[in-house]
Amino acid sequence: MRTIKLGTKSTEVYYLNELLEELKYGVIVSDYFDAETDKAVKNFQLTNNLVVDGIVGLKTWSLLMEKSKGGFSSNSKLLSEQNLIDFANEHNLELAVIKAVNEVESGGKGFLVDGRPKILFEGHIFWRELEKRNIDPNDYSNNSQDILFKKYTRSYYLGGTAEYARLEKAISLSADKKISDAAKCAASWGLYQIMGFNALTIGYETIDEFVEKMYLNEGEHLKAFGLFLEKNNLIGYLKNKRWADFALRYNGAGYKANKYDEKLIKAYTKFS
């Protein structure tokens, strides 16, 4: 793990926040090293007789993983080189293209430290999914402001295992299976954060089948990603290395501000 500190934004910071959350520090699990993360790191360093500088280097990483579970032990859940080779062959794409897309578009890892797939629950999507099932969201909106709202907001994101608490709260609103399905459809899942509402359109028979696959391994996350690309006619852009067109259609209009096309070109050049 590379050295990180206040102000860093990276997948390593997300993992750091997961470990701190597991150790009962009150941090929001995200990929940004903010003031709360800095405070938690310094407290951890002080408690464990380390130099208190807020910098997470080799010694702090080592002790954090020693004190926590450090993550699931089975390597069978992780994406492998063979997964990428098989994907490239299946879609008639260069391996370097797949590696570039995987590096830029994946979330770094698809599982939490407790072994469950990474999710992010979207309350505005939950609202929409209830309406699609002819359920009035207003009937369930009391005391549900953090999981059910009409307009998009980042205000209620908690990250890490806390997103499962939000998902379970949504499911528990009613014993009606439609509520459970709507809740699972309102979360993004795994390494590529595919929204659950895509499950049926990309080829899964039910949302439950999709979720079960997401629990298995990152190879299944890659398969779902491939189905999503096929359904949305994005494979051709990758075959022709039309990076800007791919980024526009996968990441939306903000791709230029985030330089997704440039990141893809740089990654492809490296892997090729």
For residue 23, give the nearest of 65, 56, 54 by alpha carbon: 65
- Name the H helices within the chain: 11-22, 35-47, 58-67, 81-90, 95-105, 123-132, 162-171, 177-185, 199-202, 207-216, 218-231, 235-239, 243-251, 260-271
> What integer pLDDT is reported at residue 77 of this predicted model?
87
Whether residue 114 is contained in a domain is answered as no
Q: Is the residue at 54 inside a domain?
A: yes
135, 182 contact by CB (below 8 A): yes
- Going across the sheet that includes 187-189, the strands are 119-121, 187-189, 194-195
Residue 56 in any domain: the answer is: yes
Q: With contact defined as beta carbons under 8 Å apart, do 40 and 54 qualify?
A: no
CA distances from 110 to 35, 102, 113, 140, 215 (A): 26, 12, 10, 31, 10
Residue 110 covered by a domain: no
Q: How many domains does the chain have?
A: 1
Instruction: Identify any residues that bridge with 56 across adjacent strands, giving them in sequence order.
Output: 4
Residue 243, domain member (yes or no) = no
Written as six digits, the tokens of 272 are 């090729």
What are the tens digits of pLDDT across the range 92-144?
999 999 999 999 998 778 998 888 999 999 999 999 999 999 999 999 999 99
Max CA pair span of the chain: 58
Residue 100 inside a domain? The answer is: no
CATH number of the domain that 61 lies in? 1.10.101
Low-confidence ranges of the chain (pLDDT < 50): none
Domain hosting 19: range is 11-67
Whether the model pTM is above 0.75:
yes
Residue 215 token pair: 């629990």
Give domain status of residue 97, yes or no.
no
**Structural domain includes residue 30:** yes
pLDDT at residue 76 in the model: 75
* 3-state secondary structure at position 194: strand
Residues in the chain, total:
272
CB contact set of 154 (below 8 Å; sequence gap of 6+): none
